[in-house]
Amino acid sequence: MEADGFPAPKDGMLLRLRCSVKNYDWGRIGRESGVARLYSRNTGEEVQEDTPYAELWMGTHESGPAYVVGASRGSAANGLVNGGGREKYSLTLKDWIQRNPTVLGDKVVKTWGADLPFLFKVLSVAKALSIQAHPDKDLAARLHKEQPEVYKDGNHKPEMALALTDFEALCGFVSFEELKLAVQTVPEIGEVVGSAHVDQVLHVNEDEVDENAKPILKSLFTKLMSASKDVISQVLSKLISRLNIKNEARELTDKEKLVLRLEKQYPGDVGVIAAFLFNYVKLSPGEALYLGANEPHAYLFGECIECMATSDNVVRAGLTPKNRDVETLCSMLTYKQAFPEILKGEALDPYTKRYSPPFDEFEVDQCILPQAATTAFPAAPGASIFVITAGEGTMSTTSSNEAVAEGDVLFAPANTGIAVSTTSGLSLFRAGVKTCV
């Protein structure tokens, strides 16, 4: 360790991290939350049984930084600062990287500077997150400059969600044929947007869809999302009453059941009606969904590993008590209409799959080792973060032999080969810059 308390990087080192938690109200409560269990094991803090635990952040973003274990800025022994009976780590991973940028790898520093280009998370979702989108780089820079208290940084935020449990989301707009069906079978949409918008949708011919669909969809969606609270409240009352009556005569569709569920979570919210316009996606464990800039989405239920470019920019417009920016959201969307691609992962060996969305900032590996199994992660040109989600085992490098267990999070510098072994079984995930970059 250097004299000022910062550990000097050395070949083959693995850096243990203490991570940050977010207690957003949509998170699972107490020990029902996988995030809570991982956070408790990672930090030693007791789980509060009446508190929602929504997100575990593993990265360098200042809104939820990871801290280096065993390192401090000054005189605190072993890198710890005593804070009312709790151990608090004073050296962030970002600070350490900025002092030692070579740990990122030459290509990463050249492309993104002295910071991790990705942010790694675990999410535990009990109820719907907001209908939202993430701005591209140009829009993110402008929003951050104009409203820095709302838009925390100037970066874009492409992201991927990899299901740990059955996972549900709204993602992207339905096809034009499905949109036609929605405006025909959900009269409440027409009550909000008016018959002219409905007629525009219904009179588009199949061979004209590519040319005319986007402006028509944009106009209808903007009209819907901009409606007054009073109008939405009245129309929602009719919609819920109608669906409850239909439920006595026939089984509701999955989308109709979802709408009833969303209305209980967010009564009187325009996002309840807007759900009819989005694809309803159900992921099984091991399936992943990725989202580029300016694509609408809302996670609904389940637990997932999430990775994204290092950013905390969210433009919201529904299913939320938080700040809404309807005008920005409606103007920024691509209005593409297609069911999203579902990634199954590419097998690297019998135990490891790689998920590579079309973004340079990150890829994610899932590794599930059975009893007495071993595997290896070859040296990568960029740095990696590992999180152990179940079991226990050992991670070994040329100079380090670390016992690891559920809740451990480790940083591995670029060009570090790692062997992983277990006697009882082990599950882990790795995030790193896309290997081919």
Alpha carbon distances (Å) from 432 to 92, 111, 282, 303: 19, 14, 26, 21
β-partners of residue 122 are: 56, 305
Catalytic residue among 37, 316, 324, 430: 316
CATH number at residue 331: 1.10.441.10
Asked about 316 being catalytic, the answer comes back as yes
Taking the C-alpha atoms of residue 369 and residue 355, their distance in angstroms, rounded to an integer, is 17
Whether residue 325 is found in the same domain as residue 180 = yes
SS (HEC) of 224-267: HHCCCHHHHHHHHHHHHHHHHHHHHHCCCCHHHHHHHHHHHHCC
Q: Is residue 29 situated within a structural domain? A: yes
Q: Let me know: does 290 contact 362? Beta carbons within 8 Å.
A: no
Query: Which of 169, 200, 224 is where one domain is finished?
Result: 169
Taking the C-alpha atoms of residue 122 and residue 116, their distance in angstroms, rounded to an integer, is 17
Whether residue 138 is found in the same domain as residue 264 = no
Q: Let me know: does 345 contact 305? Beta carbons within 8 Å.
A: no
pLDDT for 268-293, tens place per residue?
999 999 999 999 999 999 999 999 88
Taking the C-alpha atoms of residue 174 and residue 12, their distance in angstroms, rounded to an integer, is 48
Query: Which of 131, 148, 169 is where one domain is finished?
Result: 169
pLDDT for 191-216, tens place per residue?
999 999 999 999 887 666 666 788 99
Strand pairing of 167-173 and 278-283? antiparallel
Q: Is residue 156 situated within a structural domain? A: yes
Model confidence, pTM: 0.91
Q: Is residue 86 situated within a structural domain? A: yes
Whether residue 136 is found in the same domain as residue 71 = yes
Q: Is residue 302 situated within a structural domain? A: no
The b/e string for 376-401 (b: 16+ C-beta within 10 A; e otherwise) is ebebbbbbbbbbbbbbebebbbeebe
Residue 71 identity: A
- Specify the number of domains making up the chain: 3
Whether residue 106 is found in the same domain as residue 77 = yes
Neighbours of 323 (CB within 10 A): 12
Whether residue 264 is found in the same domain as residue 322 = yes
| CA-wise closest residue to 408 among 425, 386, 375, 376 | 386
Q: Is residue 4 situated within a structural domain? A: no
Query: Which of 144, 169, 194 is where one domain is finished?
Result: 169
CATH number at residue 353: 2.60.120.10
Average pLDDT, the chain: 90
Whether residue 134 is found in the same domain as residue 189 = no
Domain residues for 362?
346-432
Whether residue 210 is found in the same domain as residue 87 = no
pLDDT for 52-108, tens place per residue?
999 999 999 999 999 999 754 433 333 333 333 344 568 999 999 999 999 999 999
Q: What is the pLDDT of residue 74?
A: 39
